[in-house]
Amino acid sequence: MDRPENLCQVSRYRFLVQGLVQGVGFRPFVYQLATRLQLAGHVSNSANGVTIEVQGTSDNLIQFRKDLIHQHPPLAYIQELQKQEIPFREEAGFQILPSTQTEVGRTSIPGDIAPCDDCLSELFDPQDRRYRYPFLNCTQCGPRYTVICSLPYDRLATTLAKFTMCTECLREYGDPADRRFHAEPIACSQCGPQVWLETNGRRVAEKEAAIKEAITRLERGEILAIKGIGGFHLACDASNESTVARLREKKGRGTKPLAVMIKNLELAQQYVEISLAEEELLLSPMQPIVLLQRKPNESSLAPAVAPGTNQLGLFLPYSPLHQLLLTDRPLVMTSGNGSNEPIVIANEEARDRLSVLCDAILMHDREITTPCDDSVVRIFENRLYPLRRSRGYAPLPVKLQKSGSTVLAVGGELKTTLCLAIEKSAYLSQHLGDLESPESHMALDRCAHHLLDLFRVKPDLIACDLHPGYLSSQWAERFARKLDLPLVKVQHHEAHLASLLADVSWSGNDLLGVCFDGTGFGTDRAIWGGEFFCFDKSRSKRVGHLKYVSLPGGDLSIKRPYRLALAHLWAAGIPWSEDIPAVAACPPAERAILRQQLEKNANCTPTSSMGRLFDAVSSLLGVNQLASYEGQPAVELETIADSGPQEPYPFEIISGNPCQIDPTPLLHAIVQDLVRQVPAATISARFHATIAEMICYFARLFRQQVGLGTLGLTGGVFQNMRLLKEVSQRLHNEKFTILTHQQVPANDGGISLGQCLIARGQISS
């Protein structure tokens, strides 16, 4: 740019843009914007965000800032924009400079994005040079988080660095008019990753032939391990009952529902009911698994896909490779691992761990930096309600209202996630699963180091669950000692409530927090799970809970719900009649031992868990007596409930500080209905109505006493849509404001976020 004659009309500014501005086509957008406005300068990535220097006329600079904010790429968002005037200097044109290094990372990392429409068009265009190439991408789609090795985000900082771009890819990468301008994972069949099929460690087909052979094997009933974006899947024909059953047996999956991938939306509508909001989720750039209502009498899917539930976890092919593999035949796509193990991401690891679970392995040579399982979501009141936050959403930050200490929080024992809070951003890791094996423990360690290395920070504090027996808490203690850092132990349900408040950016003062889940270590060493908290400004206080009942045998009772049912009958003074399904399900010898335990209070832990009450009622009705996965009895109890409204059963409130809900009248009424042979579907519906009425009772009580008009609902029990909808309808009718999760799960997958806020001292008890 020539030096202007009138310097008063020309300025130079430096912008620092923070937020989701790397890996989403932001630098090419800035380049094209500045060029169109005839501005000189440059743009570059750093671990702090995107730095821009621009100079030109005042009018054009004003327009530049306006378009920067309002016209940026659709996947980007600007969290903070800093502007500083700097001296004018001689400079010709605008350019993208190499990335700069900073000590601490402040930029968001994009999640992995499904193919855009332009890339899909190329994938199936015989005239396009990327026709049927399983790894095509552009600035608006493709792998991000799972190929990033370090920040700032450049090709050399990804697992694509080992692939040297061919002449044509290099031309596209450097062409400002091309949509692959600075697309860091750019690749084609001539220079990029390749796919192959192998059995017993031997390659049997490569490239296109491997994809065709994989389809043939799936159609004839084989199980394949398929390397995807964030790890391996185990896949099979979802309509083949014997194959699905064989997959369950090999994986040790029990009866937990399996997710199904379907070629397109039109085919999906043959199996499930899809609302407009659910359709938008299925087609969104994240393309998560969406939990949907199955169509009545739909029978083309194998019964073993999702037994005991009328819901189906369904998703569309979210990578070019999946697009090429999917025919009109739906596929089971479940995480590539054995029972209680983390998902497999490396080829050699797949040969070692997955060969015994499958008949063949479809591999590729694009390395995965960090495992990232599929996200699971559903719609509640026409908006996102997360159940598992992972691929596509991780590690996108939750924006915090206040800055504070840098905290690494490690969540709980089940549905584990990590959270790294830096200033006003909380970066949640992908779903790590349940910490029940040495391999999952190592995955936790790798994920923690990966997050800290990416953002180049050392935490000021480590936060963990209060439960001393949790593997995550034990890991946190060792990690804190190793780094010589303070360790903050956070009560489980207080973390749930804090997570919800951060999720919805709560800025009010007073609310009633309802936290219902299965297990959480209480400050009195009991097992909590049916809790009410008053939140006042920055403090929470436990003001009510479900009355304690003895839990005989600890975790054994969780796996055998009839033990929970008998314990609840004992506490309610109801005889163990063999006419009650739960009593009949308990072997006589075990029943005798249970009676002794309860009489002597031996090996019994008091619990206020609402999740365990759901399990007990499921057993009382004969719905589920043996749980093969966490929450199964409650899922099946919800499934059988009548669709119509029902009158709630009675319950008793015991005054005190905190006050208690006594379910004794409820249990007596249920047993009476069983004797009268009232259908289990009706009893289930009345039970759900009763729990909803318990919440409404507390809401009315605390509005009357202290004027609380807002309720927050959190904890794993609120994954139950029948309960959540019934509570919401009742409270809305009574003019209450209701807070529910929007960004992180209500279950334990969200508590690491709450741990961060409490460890910072921004919420206290």
The catalytic residue positions are 27, 45
Residue 255: CB atoms within 10 A of its CB come to 18
Placement of tokens 């008949």 in the chain: 359
Do you find a cis peptide bond into 633, omega within 30 degrees of 0?
no
What is the Cα–Cα distance from 517 to 620, expressed in whole angstroms? Answer: 19
Selection from 702, 696, 705, 704 nearest residue 734 by Cα: 696
The single-letter DSSP state of residue 115 is P
Kind and range of the H or E run holding 318: none
The torsion angle over the Cα atoms of residues 78, 506, 508 and 522, rounded to 10 degrees, is -150
The single-letter DSSP state of residue 138 is B
- 101 Cα distance to chain centroid: 31
- Sort 653 into a burial class: Cβ within 10 Å, 0-12 / 13-18 / 19+: middle
Left if phi > 0, otherwise alpha if psi is -120 to 50, otherwise beta: which for 689?
Answer: alpha
Task: Compute CA distances 458 → 370, 398, 447, 485, 744, whole Å.
Answer: 20, 20, 14, 10, 24
Placement of tokens 């031997």 in the chain: 202
Selection from 658, 322, 393 nearest residue 515 by Cα: 658
What is the Cα–Cα distance from 731 to 741, expressed in whole angstroms? Answer: 16
In DSSP terms, which residues pair with 14 in a beta bridge? 53, 84
HSE (CB half, 13 Å, CA atoms) of 763?
30
- Sheet containing strand 487-490, edge to edge, reads 397-399, 425-428, 419-422, 407-409, 461-465, 487-490
What is the Cα–Cα distance from 153 to 134, expressed in whole angstroms? Answer: 22
Contact in structure between 154 and 99 (CB atoms under 8 Å): yes
What is the Cα–Cα distance from 375 to 315, expressed in whole angstroms? Answer: 10
Question: ∠ CA(161), CA(163), CA(168), 5° rounding?
Answer: 115
The single-letter DSSP state of residue 749 is G
Contact in structure between 91 and 41 (CB atoms under 8 Å): yes
The CB-based long-range contact list for 725-734 (8 Å cut-off, 24+ gap) reads 725/380, 726/688, 726/689, 726/692, 727/691, 727/692, 727/695, 727/696, 728/381, 730/692, 730/693, 730/695, 730/696, 731/695, 731/696, 731/699, 734/696, 734/699, 734/700
572 backbone dihedrals φ, ψ, rounded to 5°: -90, 0
